Amino acid sequence: MRWDLVLREWALFPSSALSLVTSPFTLLALAGGSFLGLVVGAMPGLTAVMAMALLLGFTFKMPMEWGLAILIGIYTGAMFGGGVTAIMTNIPGTPAAAATVMDGFPMARQGRSREAIGAVITGSLAGELLGELCTLLFLPLVMLAALRIGDWEVSIIAIFGLLLAGALSGRSVLKGWIAALLGLMIAMIGLDSLFAVPRFAYSMEMSRGVNFIPALIGLFGLSEVFMVLRERKAYRILGDPGRAVADWSIVTRYARTIVRSTLVGLGIGIVPGVGESVAPWVAYDLAKRKSKNPEQFGKGAVEGVVAAEVADNATSGGALIPTLVLGIPGSGPTAILLAALFIYGLRPGPTLMIDRPGFIAFIVVLFWGSALITRFVATALSGPLIRLLSAPREIVLPTAAALGLLGAWASGFTRFDVTTALLFGIVGYIMRVRGFPIPPMVLGILIGPILDAALRRTFITHSMAPLEILTRPVGMVLLIALLLVLISGLRFRGRLAEH
Residue 242 carries which side chain, given as an amino acid letter? G
CB burial of 96-131 (b: ≥16 within 10 Å; e: otherwise) equals bbbbbbbbbbbbbbeebbbbbbbbbbbbbbbbbbbb
> pLDDT at position 422, please?
92
User: What are residue 479's phi and psi, to 5 degrees?
Assistant: -65, -45
Is the distance from CB of 423 to CB of 214 less than 8 angstroms?
Answer: no
Largest CA distance in the chain: 68
In what helix (H) or strand (E) does residue 77 lie, and over which residues does it extend? helix 64-89
Task: Indicate if the alpha-carbon torsion angle 317, 322, 323, 324 is positive or negative.
Answer: positive
> pLDDT at position 393, please?
64
pTM higher than the cut 0.85: no
CA gap 251, 125 in Å, rounded:
11
Is the distance from CB of 180 to CB of 444 less than 8 angstroms?
Answer: yes
> pLDDT at position 354, please?
75
> pLDDT at position 274, please?
64
CB burial of 157-183 (b: ≥16 within 10 Å; e: otherwise) equals bbbbbbbbbbbbbeeebebbbbbbbbb
Q: pLDDT by residue for the chain (499 residues), tens digit each?
A: 556 667 777 788 888 888 888 889 989 999 999 888 888 877 765 677 778 877 877 777 788 889 899 999 998 888 888 888 788 777 776 777 778 888 888 888 887 888 888 888 888 889 888 988 888 777 656 655 656 677 888 788 778 777 766 555 555 777 888 888 899 899 899 888 788 888 888 888 888 888 877 888 888 778 877 887 776 665 555 555 556 666 778 888 889 999 999 988 888 877 766 667 778 888 888 888 888 888 888 888 899 999 999 998 888 887 887 778 766 666 778 878 888 888 888 877 667 777 788 888 888 899 999 888 888 888 887 777 766 666 666 676 777 778 778 878 877 778 888 899 899 999 999 998 888 888 788 878 877 888 888 888 888 888 887 778 877 877 888 788 777 767 766 665 555 555 4
Q: How far is CA 418 from the centre of its chain?
A: 23
